[in-house]
Structure 1
Amino acid sequence: MSTTGTRRRSGPTRTAMLTASTAVAALVLAACGSTVAPETVALAGGGSGTAIGATGSGTGPTGVDGGGIATDGGGSTDTGSGSTDGTGSGSGDSGGGTGGTGGDGGGSAGPSGPRAPDPGGTDKGVDCSGLADDTGLDSDSITIGNATDISGPVPGLFEESQKATQAFVAYFNASGSTICGRKLELVTYDTRTDGSADQQAAARACDDVFAMVGSMSAFDSGGAATTEQCGLPDVRAITTTKQRTACTICYAAQPAGPEEFQNAVPDYIMRNHGGGQKAAMLYLEGGAATENGPAQVRHMEKRGMKFVYVQSVSTAEFNYAPYVQAMKERGVETVQFVGANPFFGRLAQAMAQQDFKPELYLLDPTAYSPNFTETGGDAVVGTVVFVNFLPFEEARSNAEMQLYLQWLERVSPGSDPGFFGLFAWSATRLFVQRAASLGGDLSRETLIEAMGSVDGWTSNGLHSPQKVSAKRIGDCWRFITWTGSTWKALEGSKYQCRGTTAG
C-alpha cells in the first residue's frame, strides 16, 4: 500500500503494546465488539487536561469513492435501512443501497470518481439563529474533549485514538468549515488505563467541554456514571465495558453489543471447514476474555458449530504444548483464541513445533498487528482474522481512509494508524455531522437526542455499518489472511452481513 503523505504499513502497531498488562490485553478484546465488567480499580490520581490548538493546511483527496459498501452473505440482518450516513448498505445478498437521512459523504465529484468526503460543518441555509452559549460553546468555538489511555502499565495504549481525533479537528478547521460559524477546539485527558482516572477526567470535562469525542479507555466504566449525571454527551471511538454501554447518553462509533456475536464468523467456519464440527476455543484467564470465550462458544454452537475442546489459558503460561496435544487427540480441525498478542503467537508456534496443522487458525482484529506477524514468524502464516473495517492495505480504494492517513501524518508525523484510531476518526466525523445538522438548536440535550437515531454508520466506508443508537454489535464482517508478507482478502472484499446470535 502506498498513500500520499504516509509510510508503507501492513497494519496497526499501537496494539503491539498490549503485552505489558494482562487486564489491558483482555479488555482490548472488548473493543472488538464484546463487553466486560472489570474489577474495581484502586483509587489513584486523576487524568490531566491539555488544550490543543488544532490547526493545519491543505485539503483531502478528491475523485475517490468513499461512499457505499457492498454486502454479501445469506441469513437475516437488520442493516441496510434508515442509514444516517448516506452510504447505505444492503442486506443478505443485496449490494450497497442508498442511505436514509443525514448523509455523511458530502463533497463534490472529482475527475476520476463520483464523490469525495468533506469535513461536514453547517450547510448553507441552515438556521443558526438562537444558538446560545453553553459549557464549551461560545460565539467563536465549540470545545470537545478526548479522554484516552495514554500512560499507565502500557504507555501509549490507545494514543492512536487521541491522535486521530486531533487529526480530524485539524482537518475540519483547516478546511474552512464551521458549525454555525464556530471552529473546533480540543482538550485532551490522559485516563492512564485506570478507572479512577477515567472518572476524574469525566468530572473535569463536565465543566470544560461541550461533548466528549473519540475517547478510548480500557476502564471506561470509571467515568460512566459521572458522564451521565452531568449530562455530558459522549461519542466514543469504541466502548469497552458494560457500564459505559449502559450510560444512556454515551454512544460509540463501534458499539460493544452486549451478549451477542456476529454470525458471519461461525458461518465462515462452517462453510469452509467441515461444518465446524471439530472446533477448539482457547481463551485467556482474565478480564473480557474470561467472559467472551465461553460466550462465543455458546453463540456459535447455537449457529450450528460443535466445539470438542474449550480451554482457558493462564496469562502466566508459556508452555502451550499440553493444549496442542489435547487438540491433536480430539481431532480438532479449527482453532480460535480469544486473547491478545503475544499469546496468539505462542499458540501458533507451539502448534508448529508439534507439527499440528489445523485447517484454520482464526483470530479477532487484535491480531491485525505487526506484533503478531513479526514475532510469530513462519508459524503465523495462513492465520485468518475477521475485521469490520477497511484494511490499510486497501486505502487507495477509499477517500475517507486516505484523509485519515494524510491528516494523521500531518498532526503526528511518523505515527502509525490503527483500528482504534480509525474508529476515533469516525466518531469525530459523526459528532460533527450530528452537531452541524442541529444548527441553532444545538445544545448538549439536542445532541444527545440526535445521537439516538444513528443507524448504519460507516463514516464514508471506513468500516462496516454500526448500530450506534441501538448500542449493538454490527453484523457485517470480512476476512483477511496473513501471507507472510501482507494481509490478503479472503472471499472478496465485501462484508458478509449475516445477523447476530444472542443468549
Structure 2
Amino acid sequence: MGPGGVEPPTAETPGGGPPLDPVGGSGDVSGTGGTGATAGSPGTPGSGGGPSGAGGAGAPGAEQGSGDNAADGGVKAGSCRGFENGTGITDDEITIANVSDISGPVPGIFESAQQATQAYVAYFNATGDICGRSLKLLTLDSRSDAGADQQAYARACDQAFAVVGSVSAFDSGGARTAEDCGIPDLRSYSVTGDRTACTTCFAAYAVKPNLVPNAMPQYWAKKAPQAVKAVGMFYVNVGASAENAKNFRAGWEANGWDVKVFKPIDTAEFNYAPYVQEMKDAGVKLVNYTGPYQFTIRLQQAMKQQGFEPEVFLQDATIYDERYVAEAGDLADGSFAYIQTALYDDFSIPEMKLYRSWLQQIDPGATPTTYGVYAWSAARLFVEHAVALGGGLDRQSLVSRLQGTRDWTGNGIHAPQQVGAERTANCAAIIQLDSGAWRKVSPGKYLCGAMTDTGLGG
C-alpha cells in the first residue's frame, strides 16, 4: 500500500468527468461508455440500452464471458419472489457506491479501483440484470483523508445499497460509519486493522496488519542470503503505511532478514540523498520501498546520482504499473516486485482478458493495476452473491454470504483470498522488470506458506 505525493489536489473525476462535490461525489455513473456517462444511453459502447441493461450483447469489440466468466458468474439466480426495494434500490436500479482516494497528495492514486468497478458495472449491465434492476455506480472521493472517508460513507449509507471496489490509504475513517449503518462494504483492498475489524466490511484483498506472509521473505533468504542481512526499508509517511511497515519489518526479520535502515519519507520530501547516504554507510544490499511509484522513481534517481547499486531493489505491487515503467525508464530495469495477481498480459486467463477489455471500454488508455484487479474481483463477487440471493437480497443477507466466502480468486485473476475471514493472503509471486517487460522469476503460480503473527496488533 503506498499512498502519498506532492501534487495539488484535483477536483476532477477519473477520465475528466463532472466535478466532485465536497465529499467527493461525482454523481451517478452507469459505467457505460465512458467515465461520467449516464445510464442506459442507447448505442453507447457498453450500454445495455435501458433500465435492465439487457439491450444487446455488450459493447462492440468488448470481450464476452460465459459460464464462470459470465457477468453473473453462471450462478443459479435466486427467485425474485418477495424482492423488496430499500436504501439504494428502486424498481429499476440498484445503486452501489465506490469510495476511493482520487484527489489528495497524489491525484488519481486509486483511480484504477473506480475505473475497474465502473468497468464491471458496464459489463454486467450489457448482459443482464438483478430481478429487473440494472446497476448504477455512485463515485465518491475519500481524498486521502480519514474524515473524507467517513463523510463519503455517511453519504453511501443514505444513497447506496452497498459499497464495492473501494480503496483508501485512510480506510479506518469510514469503518465505524459503515458498520453502524449496516452497509455491506466489499472493498478492493482493506489496509488497516480498523477496517478488517468492521463486521460489515470485507475485501477482495484484505490486510490484517499483524499477519505477515512468510513465503516472500523466505524466497529472498534463499535467493539472496547476504542481501537480506543488510536491508534498507523505507515507506511513505501517510495513512496505513507506518502500521504496515512496522509489521512487515517484524515479519521479515522473523524470517531471517536484518533491517539496518528503517525510515519513513514524507510526501513533501524532495531530497532523497540523505536516505541513500545512510544506506551506503550501513552497507545495505537490499532496498525495499513501500509507497507510490512516483516516489519510487525519486528514490531510484537519488541512488543513481550517488552511484549506489544494491543487489536487490524490491517493492510491492504498486510498481507493477505501465506508468512506472514509462516514467522511470532505465532506472526501473532490474527492479523486483512481489504481487498477488496474475500477470496483466496473461490472456490465457479469460478473466484477465475481460478486465482489460472492459477497462478500455469505459476509459480507453487506462492502465491495469493491482487495485483495479481487486476492484474488478470485488464487483464480480458482489454481483454473483446478489444474483444468487434474488428476492432475498438485502444488506444483512449479503453480509452473511460474504462471511462465508473462502479461497476467492476472482476466476483465477489473483491469489486465493479469505474474504470472509478478512485475513492477509499467504501467497505471492516475484516478478522482475527486464528490458521494459515484467517476467515472473519465482517458481510455480504463487509462493504460499505460513504466516507470522508479529504481535503488534491490527
Sort the TM-score into its range (normalised by shorter chain).
Answer: 0.7 to 0.9
1:182 matched to 2:133: yes
- The equivalent residue for 1:40 is none
- C-alpha contact (below 8 Å) 1:46/1:196 kept by paired residues: no
Structure 2: how far apart are the matches of 1:375 and 1:49? 29
Structure 2 CA distance for partners of 1:269 and 1:444, relative to 1, 3 Å: same
Structure 2 CA distance for partners of 1:155 and 1:484, relative to 1, 3 Å: same
1:265 matched to 2:197: no
Structure 2: how far apart are the matches of 1:149 and 1:470? 25
Letter in 2 for 1:436: V
Structure 2: how far apart are the matches of 1:123 and 1:280? 48
- C-alpha contact (below 8 Å) 1:121/1:436 kept by paired residues: no
SS in 2 for 1:308: strand
SS in 2 for 1:19: coil
Q: How does 1:365-404 map to 2 (within 5 A)?
A: 365-394=317-346, 396-404=347-355
Q: How does 1:28-67 map to 2 (within 5 A)?
A: 45-48=22-25, 50-52=27-29, 53=39, 55-56=47-48, 57-58=58-59, 61=63
Structure 2: how far apart are the matches of 1:483 and 1:265? 20
* Deviation string, structure 1 residues 47-92 (Cα, Å, up to 9, x no partner): 3251221625248647xxxxxxxxxxxxxxxxxxxxxxxxxxxxxx
Letter in 1 for 2:292: A
1:130 matched to 2:82: yes
Identify which of 465, 472, 476 aligns with 2:427.
476
- The equivalent residue for 1:19 is 5
1:289 matched to 2:241: yes
Identify which of 293, 296, 303 aligns with 1:341.
293
Letter in 2 for 1:215: S
Identify which of 42, 45, 66 aligns with 1:107.
66
Structure 2: how far apart are the matches of 1:122 and 1:357? 51
Structure 1: how far apart are the matches of 2:451 and 2:327? 33
- The equivalent residue for 1:76 is none
Identify which of 424, 448, 453 aligns with 2:399.
448
SS in 2 for 1:434: helix
1:421 matched to 2:380: no
Letter in 2 for 1:127: S
SS in 2 for 1:345: helix
Deviation at 1:493, TM superposition (A): 5.5
Deviation at 1:125, TM superposition (A): 6.9
- C-alpha contact (below 8 Å) 1:162/1:215 kept by paired residues: yes
Structure 2 CA distance for partners of 1:169 and 1:246, relative to 1, 3 Å: same
Structure 1: how far apart are the matches of 2:159 and 2:298? 45
1:246 matched to 2:208: no
Deviation at 1:445, TM superposition (A): 0.8
Percent of aligned pairs with the same amino acid: 42
- The equivalent residue for 2:356 is 405
Letter in 2 for 1:107: S
Identify which of 408, 433, 453 aligns with 1:502.
453
Q: Gaps (5+ residues) in structure 1?
A: 1-14, 24-43, 63-105, 109-115
Letter in 2 for 1:19: G
Q: How does 1:316-331 map to 2 (within 5 A)?
A: 316-331=268-283
- C-alpha contact (below 8 Å) 2:5/2:267 kept by paired residues: no
- C-alpha contact (below 8 Å) 1:149/1:193 kept by paired residues: yes
Identify which of 116, 120, 123 aligns with 1:164.
116
- The equivalent residue for 1:358 is 310
Most deviating of 480-489 and 193-202: 193-202
Structure 2: how far apart are the matches of 1:445 and 1:422? 26
Deviation at 1:389, TM superposition (A): 0.9
Deviation at 1:332, TM superposition (A): 2.8
Q: CA RMSD in A?
A: 2.8
* Deviation string, structure 1 residues 159-203 (Cα, Å, up to 9, x no partner): 22222111111111211x232343222222233333333223222
- C-alpha contact (below 8 Å) 1:122/1:179 kept by paired residues: no
Structure 2: how far apart are the matches of 1:170 and 1:466? 25
Structure 1: how far apart are the matches of 2:166 and 2:372? 10
* Deviation string, structure 1 residues 335-385 (Cα, Å, up to 9, x no partner): 212333333223323333443332211111112234533443333321101
Structure 2: how far apart are the matches of 1:142 and 1:292? 35
Structure 1: how far apart are the matches of 2:236 and 2:77? 55
SS in 2 for 1:402: helix
Q: Gaps (5+ residues) in structure 2?
A: 10-20, 30-38, 41-46, 49-57
- The equivalent residue for 1:430 is 381
Structure 2: how far apart are the matches of 1:169 and 1:245? 25
TM superposition score normalised by structure 2:
0.82
1:210 matched to 2:187: no
Structure 2 CA distance for partners of 1:143 and 1:290, relative to 1, 3 Å: closer
Letter in 2 for 1:46: V
TM superposition score normalised by structure 1:
0.75
- C-alpha contact (below 8 Å) 2:193/2:208 kept by paired residues: no
Counting matched residue pairs gives 416
Deviation at 1:492, TM superposition (A): 4.2
